[in-house]
Amino acid sequence: MSLQPGKSSAPRKNDRFSSTGFILAAIGSSVGLGNMWKFPYITGEHGGAAFFLLFIICLIIIGLPVLLAELAIGRAGRGSAATSYVKAGGPTAFAPFGLLQVITPFIILSIYTIIAGWTLHYAVQSFTGKLFTNADFGSQFTAFTGGYMPLVWQTAAIALTMFVVGKGISGGIEKFNKVLIPGLVILLIILMIRAVTLPGAGEGVSFFLNPDFSKLSAEAALVALGHAFFSLSLGMGILLTYGAYVDKRQSLGPATVAIGVGDLIYALIAGLIIFPTTFSFGIAPDAGPSLVFVALPAAFSAMPLGSFFGGLFFILLAIAALTSAVSLLEVPVAYVMERWRFSRTKAVIICGVVLLIIGLPSVLSFGMIDSLTTIGSKSFFDWVDFITSNILLPIGGLVTTIFAGYYWKGAADAAGLKAGWFKVWLFTLRYIAPVLVLLVLLHTSGILKF
């Protein structure tokens, strides 16, 4: 395998993104369950608007510089995430960290597709009205997730993702996002209008958008920063991989801003759907991960045409999840294609099958197999989530900032920024981002407590 800068393996050479296709695909990657499922409940748990403000600050100050770094490294290296640091001209000591950024998204995908599967099931249940035949949504959720059906739905989600990735960059991932990202906006706007016109919706809007600064805390700041990483899909090789398919002429600075703004708009609209709805129906916004699967169905059941709006909501979640899932799967697929020179189809099949196997202990850990349901303090699923989101992801981000800030001679050329912006960017990557990301890592891994 050649590690020379600029040398890429044959199958990927001409399959590139168009300019808008790339931005839409990157927005598709960033807008996912993080925006629609995780962001509302962590915002709810950390006091609403003040947390949203922190998230915006973290996204701008740390998220965007790291995003730009990942894209620039990816484009300069034109390899898979595993080789891009070295192919971009960096020291070989970075190679194992590159490999880690192939493994991380692969493991994340094994649980991400479980939740994507849940959303598909909930969409069907809602449209058919079955979801509302039993008003005990908590037990419905436990009974469903504890059975074998989630495995069936997860397989469907994996198959769909494999289909899109199998069609390649311009003919698969780009096309898919070009249709679904605008489609997502339309669904979001319909649901937002429905939510903000519900009786008592104003209270939810003000919870989300009227900051109470007494709620700010160091803990909330670290959670917000961690979420900015999660939401922008940083630290897991996705933008290193996507960057390799970006044309030399594309300006990365404006593209980075467009992706950040896109992600933020989706988070904003998601909040404007969830909080007015929960407040209008007297549901606590801090219900945690089950918020959208347990609390929201209760709201939909009490709403005129609730089964239709509920169905739309879960379709929207499924679309958001699938546009992210394709970006996660592309990382190991690009690696397998590069490493073993396999065709895309072969790489997709291998990755899909392995994915299904490594996902099994997680999908069966909701009640099917007792020994997986409680391992110490958490279920197998929760452990995978904890280790990937809280440990591997910040490590990935830290490596990118240290590489781009200290070890990458080609940074100035590759980023294509004007001198002033380049200085700001480099300063952030050297002195601000690594310190803050390290704090997040220490906090999320439980070493630093408040």
Query: CB of residue 438 vs ligand PFF: minimum separation in angstroms?
Result: 18
Could you write out the DSSP letters of every residue in 188-253?
Answer: HHHHHHHHHTSTTHHHHHHHHHS--GGG--HHHHHHHHHHHHHHTT-SSSHHHHHHTTS-TTS-HH
Nearer to ligand PFF, 328 or 404 (CB): 328
Nearer to ligand PFF, 316 or 414 (CB): 316
- As a dihedral over the C-alpha atoms of residue 9, residue 12, residue 13, residue 18, rounded to 10 degrees, the angle is -150
Query: CB of residue 320 vs ligand PFF: minimum separation in angstroms?
Result: 7
| The pair of three-digit structure tokens given for residue 98, joined into one six-digit string | 């590159």
| 410 Cβ neighbours under 8 A, 6+ residues apart | 76, 88, 89
- CA dist 379 and 423 (Å) reads 45
Whose CB is nearest to ligand PFF?
A: 34
Three-class SS state of 378: strand
Q: In which residue are the tokens 């289909």 written?
A: 163
Query: CB of residue 367 vs ligand PFF: minimum separation in angstroms?
Result: 24
- CA dist 232 and 6 (Å) reads 26
- CA dist 360 and 109 (Å) reads 12
Nearer to ligand PFF, 123 or 236 (CB): 236
- CA dist 329 and 243 (Å) reads 15
Nearer to ligand PFF, 236 or 429 (CB): 236
- Chain positions contacting ligand PFF, by CB under 6 A: 30, 32-35, 108, 230-231, 233, 236, 324, 328, 389, 393
Query: CB of residue 436 vs ligand PFF: minimum separation in angstroms?
Result: 18
Report which residue type is found at 274.
I
Nearer to ligand PFF, 123 or 320 (CB): 320
Nearer to ligand PFF, 266 or 380 (CB): 266
Query: CB of residue 128 vs ligand PFF: minimum separation in angstroms?
Result: 27
- CA dist 141 and 247 (Å) reads 45
Nearer to ligand PFF, 86 or 232 (CB): 232
Query: CB of residue 31 vs ligand PFF: minimum separation in angstroms?
Result: 7
Query: CB of residue 396 vs ligand PFF: minimum separation in angstroms?
Result: 9
Query: CB of residue 45 vs ligand PFF: minimum separation in angstroms?
Result: 17
- CA dist 238 and 327 (Å) reads 6
Nearer to ligand PFF, 38 or 194 (CB): 38
